[in-house]
Amino acid sequence: MKEELEKNPQSTISSSQVFFIHVCCGLALAAGFWVAHHVYSLNLVFDPTKTLCLIWAIEFPVVILLFSCCRQKPEKCSYFTAIARGLLGLPVGALLNALGALALGAPVGLQYLEKTVNWSLLMSSFTFVPTACVYGSSWTDWHRIFACTKPNGPLEFMLCLPAHGAVIGAWFGAWPMPLDWERPWQDWPICVSYGAMAGYVVGMVGSFGLALKMHAGRKQLKAE
Amino acid sequence: MWGWWRFGKWTVLIMFLHIIAILIFTKGFLLTRTELPHSSHCSDLSQSPCHSSPSSSSCWTKPAVDRLIIIVLDALRFDFVAPSSFFEEKQPWMDKLKVLQRMASENPSSAKIFKAIADPPTTSLQRLKGLTTGALPTFIDVGNSFGAPAIVEDNFISQLIQNGKRVVMMGDDTWTQLFPNHFNKSYPYPSFNVKDLNTVDNGCIEHLLPSLYQQDWDVLIAHFLGVDHAGHIHGVDSTLMIEKLEQYNAVLEKVIKELQNQSGPGKLHENSLLLVMGDHGQTLNGDHGGGSPEEVETSIFAMSFKDLPSLPSEFDSSSCEVDLSFPHSFNICWRLLGGIEIFFLLGCCCVPLLITVEKEKEKSLNTLTLEKTLTPSKNICISSIPQVDFAVTVSSLLGVPFPFGSIGRVNPELYALAVCTWNLDDDKTWNNQDQTKLEEWLQNYANVLCINSWQVKRYIDVYSASSVIGFSSEDLFRISDLYSKADENWSYTKNLSSYKNGSSNTSLPVLKRQIVAYSNFLSYVAELARSKWTEFNLKMMGTGIGIMLLSLYCHTLAIKKLNKSYGVSLLSSRDSGISFGLMLTFFMVLIRAGSLLSNSYILKEGKAANFLLATTGIMTLRYSFMKNKMLIEVSAAIFLLLTFIFRIAIEVGLFKQAATSQFMSSSSSWMLGISISQSLWTYMAEIMPILALIVLGYFLYKSISSCYWGIPKYVIMGTILCYFLVALHWISESNILDLAHFLKGFGKNCIPRTVYAITLVQLSLLAIVPMFCKEETSNCRGSLFVKMMSILSACSSTIIILQGKQGALVALGSLLAGYCMMRLQGIEQHTVSGTAGISILDPLPVLQWSLLAVCLLFASGHWCAFDGLRYGAAFVGFDEFILIPQAILLTIDTFGFSHILSVFGLPLFVAFPSSFNQTEHKSLFPIKLFWIFMVYGLITAITATATILCVTIQRRHLMVWGLFAPKFVFDVVGLILTDLLIFVASIYYFNGLEDRIGNAELRRLW
């Protein structure tokens, strides 16, 4: 699989590959939950710090390994360089996510620090790490995908949609927080994490759908 | 001026519509009752037609009870007290207060359980107010109780004090807030920590039992809070609740035992009455405040410790006779009220329990109906009593004058329990002696009712004479008609009773008729008062909302027209499609409007607004990245940083709010974690505002350095002088530098007054001078900018001194935020605009500005509640209370940043003397300015309309009076203020603009 992926640069990434990567990412997320629940008997509601830590620890290697296969210009950049880029991207993206969350109203304080750190690491592996693996520090690509939101090709959609989905999902996930229902999941960052994960999954589904559609379109073109 | 009118007629029209809509809506929604300062006095009774009591020592009525023990159990549901057999299903929390049930079934003649019906809002403070004054609660009790919750109306407690009774209080500190100087002894415990179930209760228990042996009180009040707190935290169906109830049962058992031990002749509690009561009920989740049956139904248990002769057994059994042929049903019968035999049939007014429960509220309005529901197992008869009756009944028992504003009726059963325990329920077996007793009792009760009716009539007369919103003349006519009818009878009855030995056969029916007449009158008044003071007028509210929506329509119409004239004169083929900014604005306004539907979002409105503001900030940051403008990215980042700082300020404000609000449990503990050494912290707090002032002054100085125009220069110099004075004021207040003795000669009021005076002079200069001398400046933008700076600086000094030290910091923050926004606006102008360098009309910056204004309101330590007003600001520069200047100061303090400066700062988006381009059509300039004013007004109006709609939808909500109504008042006042300020600001800014542009050109545009 790895070799197969490596051979296919951005333009020709097939819908089955998109599907494979997304399913792996989704399964990693589910596996994180499963391990937390069954092995460590943890729960996002009762111990968000450890659970989030476990989830991102399982999610982000999968993301790095998979997306590094789709790196741009594989001839210039080895698989391990891409992995290193992803590892570097993780804390940078976490910092950006944390700053965004703080600007939007995440609680400040030492007792929230761990939760915020773990949450932003998870967010980073949803949003920042994949693109860091694929494009590294190429400003124009980042600019195109995230500032202008003008991705082209299934690969860029694969980077763009889940990331935007996660951020928008987290934004919506913050809405129940001020309500006075006094449920334990209303605390920071539980519902925000749920929102982010839901948005991420929706984004993945959307990107897969688009990949299918584009593939069909290309086939048609070829047929014509 | 003519040119202004072309634009300005819209503002006038919209302002007019808003004022009409709000007036109509408010009349239907805000139930107002004027608090009267009068109080009843012993000597007043000579004006009444009734007997004064025979002995000279007593006042209005003959005291029937010497000592009164009131034990208030907060949030006592009716089913905590009543036996479980009253309900369809036995729940775990029922039958826990067994001692009360046992007492009521063992001695029905001296102990009784009542179902008490409270009037919403069912919050403790409002209920205690209602219980002691006997009046109905309303949202605005117009009176001089501005700020402090202390009761100024005549009430039961102050009547006790006036008549030399000694009152001891223990428990919930709400009592000491309401009656700050009334108690001989008080043991208050803090009530706001909902999570603490035991402090108040343990304190009560600690003082309650020893107090029972002491002689230094006549009335004892013990207020337990545990059940209320247990309900709030854990709900009704929880083990903690059951533990609490069991604890209370033990305490009550002890209390009753002690009282019984002391009840012998000559002993301490020879003639005492024990009342165990709730102030309101609660839902199964522990909420209360609204008007659902669960919340309004609470209980009163009354027990008298008189040494009573035991009554013949037939009296007992006959009252609660059980028909055993229906094993599970209650013995049920039903009589209409008003019959002659009412007092003999009290025990038989029964309907099926379910119907009783459903109709309970309606019936409690017709207070004559005394239903009783009988249980097959125990002979407990429960009748219901509206809580408004409490004050007057207890007053009559203790022999003190009835509270002036009470509209209750002396409840016959509660009264009978203590006055002369007469079994009223028997209609078959009474002998002559009993009949005389009965007659005596009825005579006495009729006299009490006479006093009661006279007092209520007097209140209604005085009220309608002195209040603006009184009763209609028809209602008044009907009241006096009923009263005069009852009174007519009374003169006859009185005469009749003077022949003491007259035939009792004739006197009894006459007395009963008399009582019925008085009761009719009292119930009519109570019903009328309820409809006037506690019911919404939906038609008026609907009309108000309709007019409000119409005004919104006009607003959009005006904006469309402006858009059109802007677009037409542009003559460019700019696509008129919906831009991203417009969509985002629409979405944000929609979210903000929708969020007002929930009490939680209103409570944390500052944070919600900040969230939206930060979201728009992030969007602009992203946008600026898209445009690859380095400078602008930096300002967007600074802007985000500022929103973060504002957020911290808002959280500090929330923390303050949580300390006083009854709806918020104190959260945000992170601030307590800051453990910087105290001295450094205070030092910083002293220095920072002064530094901020210096920076502000420097900015102002810079802004005029390039200005050649006369007046603004003087104005800004004046402001800088003001800042200097303000800084001096703060230094003299602080104790870091011992400067106080330098300034002793001035007096501490001198500096604020000087600042006010300078501000007035500046404003009048700005208003008057441009009318006479016209400056010729070619640069529209430049002159507008100078104008804006001068008026902002003129307003700012007063606002800063009123806001105190935080004011300078907030002012600096808003200045920076405004600057950032201006730069961000710059990219739009620079990049999106087409050929001629004309900026497009993007509502997003205006939305940001209005969200920022909301944030500023909260960041400067205000919130939308009446305890969120900073009353201290009204006394800056004044020592004594003078209503009008202080109301103005309070308004300036509250709305200073969020409305006054925001509206006057709006030209920011067009006035910045940008280096980008000067080529924009001059003629478009006023249109754009006006467009910004209109959009800002529209956003404010939409929010206010949403508040009005949400208040209407939530009018039966738990927190309607605590949260929604204050929010409504704030929004509505803010809206009218915004309209007014837009009107003034548009005149101010347009005056002179049109000269420069030329009327001819303006006319062409329209």
Q: What is the complex's ipTM, to 2 decimals?
A: 0.92
Q: Name the pLDDT band for B727 (thresholds 50, 70, 90).
A: confident
Q: Name the pLDDT band for B356 (thresholds 50, 70, 90).
A: very low
Asked if residue A224 is part of any domain, the answer here is: no
**Residues of B at the A interface, defined by Cβ within 8 angstroms:** 598-601, 603-604, 607-608, 610-611, 614-615, 617-618, 622, 625-626, 628, 640-641, 643-644, 647-648, 663, 668-670, 673
pLDDT at A161: 92
Query: Which residues lie below 8 Å from residue B785, measured CB to CB, with a gap of 6+?
Result: B703, B907, B911, B912, B913
Q: Is A179 on the interface with B (CB under 8 A)?
A: yes
Would you kindly state where each structural domain of chain B is located, as residue ranges?
Answer: 32-138+155-422+432-534
Q: Name the pLDDT band for B249 (thresholds 50, 70, 90).
A: very high
Q: Is A178 on the interface with B (CB under 8 A)?
A: yes
pLDDT at B344: 31
| pLDDT value at B427 more than 50 | no
Among the ranges B500-509, B661-670, B784-793, which has the highest mean pLDDT value? Answer: B784-793
| pLDDT value at B487 more than 70 | yes
DSSP codes of every residue in chain A = -HHHHHHS-GGG--HHHHHHHHHHHHHHHHHHHHIIIIIS---TTT-HHHHHHHHHHHHHHHHHHHHHHT-S-TTTS-HHHHHHHHHHHHHHHHHHHHHHHHHHTPPPSHHHHHHHHHHHHHHHHHHHHHHHHHHTT-HHHHIIIIIS----HHHHHHHHHHHHHHHHHHHHHTTTTTSTT--GGGSTTHHHHHHHHHHHHHHHHHHHHHHHHHHHHHHHHHH-
| pLDDT value at B928 more than 90 | no
Closest-CA residue of B relative to A103 is B644
B601, B617, B628 ranked by CB distance to A178: nearest: B601
> For B634-666, what is each residue's pLDDT tens digit?
777 888 888 888 888 887 777 776 665 555 554
CA B527, B533, B534, B540: dihedral to nearest 10 degrees? 110
Does the distance separating the beta carbons of A102 and B670 come in below 8 Å?
no
**What's the mean pLDDT in B851-870?**
83
Does the distance separating the beta carbons of B670 and A107 come in below 8 Å?
yes
A107, A112, A147 ranked by CB distance to B626: nearest: A147
What is the share, in percent, of chain A residues with pLDDT greater than 90?
42
Angle at alpha carbon of residue B199, lines to B193 and B205, rounded to 5°: 145
Q: Name the pLDDT band for B339 (thresholds 50, 70, 90).
A: very low
Does the distance separating the beta carbons of B648 and A179 come in below 8 Å?
no
**What's the mean pLDDT in B325-333?**
29
pLDDT at B542: 94
**What's the mean pLDDT in B950-972?**
82
pLDDT at B379: 58
Does the distance separating the beta carbons of A179 and B628 come in below 8 Å?
no
Q: Identify all chain A residues contacting B670, using CB atoms and an 8 Å cutoff.
A: 107-112
Q: Is A180 on the interface with B (CB under 8 A)?
A: yes
**What's the mean pLDDT in B419-436?**
53
Which pair of structure tokens corresponds to residue B114?
Answer: 């009542």
Question: Which residue out of A180, A182, A183, A192 would a mutagenesis test of the B interface target, given it has the greatest number of B Cβ atoms within 10 Å?
Answer: A180
A100, A108, A109 ranked by CB distance to B618: nearest: A100
The tally of domains found in chain A comes to: 1
Q: Identify all chain A residues contacting B614, using CB atoms and an 8 Å cutoff.
A: 103-105
In whole angstroms, what separates CA A33 from the centre of its chain?
16
A12: containing domain: 2-219
Pick from B787, B757, B755, B746: nearest CA to B996: B787
- Nearest Cα of chain A lies from the Cα of B851 at a distance, in angstroms, of 14
| pLDDT value at B318 more than 60 | no
- Nearest Cα of chain B lies from the Cα of A105 at a distance, in angstroms, of 6
Q: Which residue has the higher pLDDT, B437 or B91?
A: B91
pLDDT at B646: 84
**What's the mean pLDDT in B268-295?**
83
Lowest model confidence (mean pLDDT) among A131-135, B255-259, B515-519, B775-779: B775-779
Pairs across A and B, CB distance < 8 A: 55
> For B574-619, what is each residue's pLDDT tens digit?
444 457 778 888 899 999 999 999 888 988 888 899 999 999 988 8
Q: Which residue has the higher pLDDT, B431 or B767?
A: B767
Q: Which residue has the higher pLDDT, B951 or B32?
A: B951
Mean pLDDT score across all residues of chain A: 86
B607, B618, B670 ranked by CB distance to A108: nearest: B670
Q: Is A107 on the interface with B (CB under 8 A)?
A: yes
Instruction: Report the alpha-carbon distance of residue B761 to residue B719 in Å, rounded.
Output: 11
> Taking the domain B32-138+155-422+432-534, which CATH number applies?
3.40.720.10
Lowest model confidence (mean pLDDT) among B337-351, B713-727, B843-857, B984-998: B337-351
Q: Which residue has the higher pLDDT, B996 or A86?
A: A86
**What's the mean pLDDT in B511-535?**
84
Among the ranges B57-71, B570-584, B798-812, B931-945, which has the highest mean pLDDT value? Answer: B931-945
Q: Identify all chain B residues contacting A105, using CB atoms and an 8 Å cutoff.
A: 607, 610-611, 614, 647
Q: Name the pLDDT band for A26 (thresholds 50, 70, 90).
A: very high
pLDDT at B309: 45
- Nearest Cα of chain B lies from the Cα of A95 at a distance, in angstroms, of 15
Does the distance separating the beta carbons of A110 and B673 come in below 8 Å?
yes
Instruction: Report the alpha-carbon distance of residue B747 to residue B66 in Å, rounded.
Output: 55
Mean pLDDT score across all residues of chain B: 76
pLDDT at B324: 30
Q: Identify all chain A residues contacting B615, using CB atoms and an 8 Å cutoff.
A: 104, 171
Q: Identify all chain A residues contacting B647, using CB atoms and an 8 Å cutoff.
A: 103, 105
Angle at alpha carbon of residue A134, lines to A129 and A135, rounded to 5°: 100
B615, B625, B628 ranked by CB distance to A104: nearest: B615
Asked if residue A22 is part of any domain, the answer here is: yes
pTM flag (> 0.90): no
Does the distance separating the beta carbons of A111 and B608 come in below 8 Å?
no
A107, A148, A180 ranked by CB distance to B599: nearest: A180
Do the beta carbons of residue A83 and residue A65 sit within 8 Å? yes
Lowest model confidence (mean pLDDT) among A5-19, B236-250, B874-888, B980-994: A5-19
| pLDDT value at B751 more than 60 | yes
Give the β-pairing of B167-172 and B219-224: parallel
> For B33-90, what is each residue's pLDDT tens digit?
777 788 888 888 777 777 655 555 567 888 888 889 999 998 899 989 888 888 888 8
Does the distance separating the beta carbons of B610 and A105 come in below 8 Å?
yes
